[in-house]
Structure 1
Amino acid sequence: MNLDHPKRSIRSRRRRARLALAIVLCCGGAPVNAHDFWVQPSAFWLSPTAITTMTLQVGHGPARQRSPITLRRIIRYEAFAPDGSRADLKERLQLGAPSADGSFVFQKPGAHVIVFQTDDRAQVHLPFIRFNDYIKAEGLTPAIDLRVRLNRMDRDGSENYSRCAKSIVQVGGAVAGNQSQATRILGLPLEIVPDRSPYALPRSTTLPVRVLYLGRPLVGALVKLTRLEDDAVPFEMHRTDRAGRATFAMPSGGTWLLNVIWTRVQPSSAETDFDTTFSSLSFGFSPNRAVRTP
């Protein structure tokens, strides 16, 4: 995509995304658990030692809200510094507080990555029409294939689900510190790993990412890029290739979310049919930067 002349391609992408969303809504809408989930810092570009708050967000468009998740479900909330050092942030959680769900303080210049992960004990049970709409809209091939092969498309569906999230924040100015932490694999069961930090200079015109599932490249997953200032529909969507990769136009302003969902079949002894993981990566740009906005 040519970022110097983006208007036509942006309109085209948004028309396609809105059409896809309208089809899903006409068929009954996506289930609550299919909503995006992410870590939303109050700012993505920080001064050293500044206390920064964050909220846990779920949903999109008019349905966007603070997540009601409970502390007992959270198994990771930590940060990785530019030098690779790790800090546990769970003691800084304030879930459900009036203005924020937690806070953090970073000192070292460069890209820091916040990592969040829940357990998979939550369950959802849906009527077959809504479940079919959901797995088709999100491209959950393992669920579609099983239900078609066993002639179960007219049966209600169920799943356990977990959530994973990463957020990249920059401490210091655009040329400050190491950016390599943003591109490292941090051990989430479903993880979006950029090949290049969105904050790195010189700026690239593309944002290539890898998607890993249980440590291996994930083929055929639907990855969505959403501008959080206009989050009713995704800005851009791609399926991962045989290497688990997808490439997006590099955003140059605003705040952004990449998200992906994948599932696997549960054993017959399980309470639900599938085990699904939701994963996201959030990042954003300083409002003081002189950049072009898509």
Structure 2
Amino acid sequence: MTLSRTFAVTCLAATTVLFPIASSAHDFWLAPSTYRLTAPSEVPVSVLIGHPKDRLTWPVDPQRIVALRTVGPDGVRDQQSGLADYDQDEVLPIGLDAPGLHILTIETTNAFSELPATQFEDYLAEEGLTLIQLDRIHRGATDTPGTELYSRRGKALLQVGPVLPTDISRLRRPVGLTLEIIALDHPQTWVEGEILNAKVMFRGQPMSGITVGLVSTEPEIDTATHVRTDKDGTVSFAYPGSGTWMLHAVWSDRQRISDRADYNTIFSSLSFEVW
């Protein structure tokens, strides 16, 4: 029996807490060589997966990329031409042609995953996927392998020149990802003593009870703090210090009609630099 989204959100919201847990091996983020440019130019971007200290370059398969684009002061720009000659050890060349904030986004197709029961239950606990834990308990399936179709959504905030008022309005505007993390404050203006607010949207609607992690993407810094979104889908984090960071979130639904997997899971990230 599939749990309703309303019931799922109620259960998740009821367990809203602040807790530190290890960064997930499922982490996925866009990692430009720099998040700050003084003038319009091309910036190389890696696609990384795993724990930041053990991170790997994701072997980008053009067939799995649904979209690769930037949303900037010059509008929406398709960046898929950079996929043509991509190799696992190379990077994506992303062209930024105007001063201001450019939001780089990537979307992938589904892939299949199956884990033994114990590993799947550990993964659900680590990611805060309470809905799926409840569903497996309800179906008496906690001792069976877990199967899912999963896809990824990534965003990176690239700033060309100083932060302008128009950049803030662009920052807060959804770009239309299925599961999207939206920064409500510009990370490059974040200073000690202030908080950064963000919102999580699923299919255009704010989602409460989703675990959001603030994770350092620097290999030598093993720092991650996790918080659940409130009833408006928002979450706040205290200033973590300068460096490169990402916000990470996961949402999973029971597959209604599928002979291949029990769940459909989306991983989403927003990477940025804090000065």
Q: Same fold (TM over 0.5)?
A: yes
**Which runs of no fewer than 5 residues in structure 2 stay unpaired?**
1-18
Q: Distance in 2 between matches of 1:55 and 1:232?
A: 19
Q: Which residue of 2 aligns with 1:138?
A: 127
Whether 1:109 and 2:99 are equivalent positions in the alignment is yes
TM-score, structure 2 normalization: 0.85
- How far is the alpha carbon of 1:142 from its aligned partner? 2.1
Counterpart residue type for residue 208 of structure 1? N
Residue 203 of structure 1, CA deviation? 8.8
CA distance in 2, matches of 1:270, 1:66: 31
* Structure 2 letter corresponding to 1:114: L
Tell me the equivalent position of 2:62. Answer: 71
Match of 2:12 in 1: none
Give the aligned residue type for 2:104: I
The number of residues matched between the two structures is 256
Deviation of residue 233 (structure 1)? 4.4
Tell me, in whole angstroms, the C-alpha distance in 2 between the residues paired with 1:166 and 1:191. 8
Q: 1:244 aligns with which of 219, 224, 233?
A: 233
TM-score by length of 1: 0.80
Q: Which has the higher contact order (CA 8 A, sep 6+)?
A: 2
Residues 168-188 of structure 1: per-residue CA shift (max 9 Å, x gap): 010013569633222110110
Equivalent residue, structure 2, for 1:56: 47
Aligned to 1:171: 160
Which residue in 2 is equivalent to 1:39? 30
Mean alpha-carbon deviation: is it higher for 194-203 or for 242-251? 194-203
CA contact (8 A) 2:107 2:152 kept: yes
Q: Secondary structure at the match of 2:236?
A: strand
Q: Please show how residues 16-27 of structure 1 align to structure 2 within 5 Å.
A: 17=20, 20-21=21-22
Question: Could you tell me whether the CA contact under 8 Å between 1:164 and 1:188 is conserved in 2?
Answer: yes
1:235 corresponds to 2:216: no
Which residue among 59, 73, 77 is the counterpart of 1:82? 73
Taking a change above 3 Å as real, the CA distance of residues 264 and 176 of structure 1, as seen in their structure-2 partners, is closer
Q: Distance in 2 between matches of 1:214 and 1:270?
A: 24
**Which of 245, 253, 257 does residue 242 from structure 2 map onto?**
253
Measured at CA, do residues 268 and 86 of structure 1 come closer, stay the same or move farther in structure 2, by a change above 3 Å?
Answer: closer
Q: What whole-Å deviation, never above 9, does each CA across 1:83-134 have from its counterpart, x for those lacking one?
A: 5x1000000124325342x1122132211100100012x0001110000110
Q: Distance in 2 between matches of 1:231 and 1:275?
A: 33
Structure 1 gaps, min length 5: 1-15, 25-29, 286-290
- Contact 1:113-1:167 at 8 Å conserved across structures: yes
